[in-house]
Amino acid sequence: MSLVLYHAMGSCAFAPLVALEEAGAEFELRMLDLARGDQRDPRYLAINAHGRVPALVADGQAITEATAVLVYLAAAHPERKLLPTEPLALGKALEFLSWVASSVHVALAQVRRPARFLNGEIGRPELAATGRERFGEALSEIDALCLKADPWLSGSNFGAMDMVALVVRRWAEGLALSLETWPNFLALTGKGLDRPAVQRALARERDTAKFFS
Ligand SMILES: N[C@@H](CCC(=O)N[C@@H](CS)C(=O)NCC(=O)O)C(=O)O
């Protein structure tokens, strides 16, 4: 099986990167530079026509959307228990991943990419302010989930929900939010960051040269 993950620094593709490291999978990492617009390079659009990361190419077949990539990796590495198999727990885990992708990520996009929502300059500061507010509210919701984590959001083992929580933490840091406001989230993600596989993922993204030079 050949696996290639397309990722970009600070992006939601960090969760699949951590999942691959946790699973001990052999894979090639290809880093895009989103600020330079690599995601719109025709060579990348041929892999993901939406022009976004992540994309995981498994034996020549591209899977896009962070949630779908995580579901694929969970199914490909059942022994790693990235997602629960018990129906209710699985439903709750997918609820969390879908909510982050469809709501939390969109709040972030309001702040970072207002041109996606409004053609002109008018209204952009209000859009960004609302996005920041929604993002903060989401962090409070995640903080409450972290309080109940036992010991991880995913249950007894560090799984897909915890990996996505790490992505949210990096987004929050990117927005220069004070994480002390959400102490349970800070503690859980701090524990996640200490994991050897997460440290390997951080080192690997840092040490991998940009793919399109
Ligand atoms: N719904 C997609 C969103 C993917 C997405 O927007 N990824 C961002 C990085 S976190 C990206 O590629 N941004 C580049 C752009 O918006 O041009 C998912 O959950 O995977």
pLDDT grade, residue 23 (50/70/90)? very high
pLDDT grade, residue 213 (50/70/90)? confident
At residue 178, the pLDDT reads 97
At residue 128, the pLDDT reads 96
Residue 175 — φ and ψ, nearest 5°?
-90, 5
- Cβ atoms 157, 81 nearer than 8 A: yes
Pick from 48, 105, 167 the residue to mutate for probing ligand 1's pocket: most ligand atoms within 8 Å of its CB: 105
Atom 20 of ligand 1 has which residue's CA nearest to it?
Answer: 65
pLDDT grade, residue 1 (50/70/90)? confident
Span 75-133, pLDDT tens digits: 999 999 999 999 999 999 999 999 999 999 999 999 999 999 999 999 999 999 999 99
Pick from 52, 97, 104 the residue to mutate for probing ligand 1's pocket: most ligand atoms within 8 Å of its CB: 52
Going by C-alpha positions, the residue among 19, 5, 100, 95 that lies closest to residue 48 is: 5
Residue 44's SS3 state is helix
Mean pLDDT of the chain: 97
* pLDDT > 90 in the chain, percent: 99
What's the CA-to-centroid distance between 11 and ligand 1, angstroms?
A: 7
CA geometry: angle 96, 142, 204, nearest 5 deg:
75
Atom 6 of ligand 1 has which residue's CA nearest to it?
Answer: 52
Question: Which region, left, alpha or beta, applies to residue 51 given φ > 0 means left and ψ of -120 to 50 means alpha?
Answer: left
What pTM did the predictor assign? 0.98
- Six-digit token string for 143: 């903080």
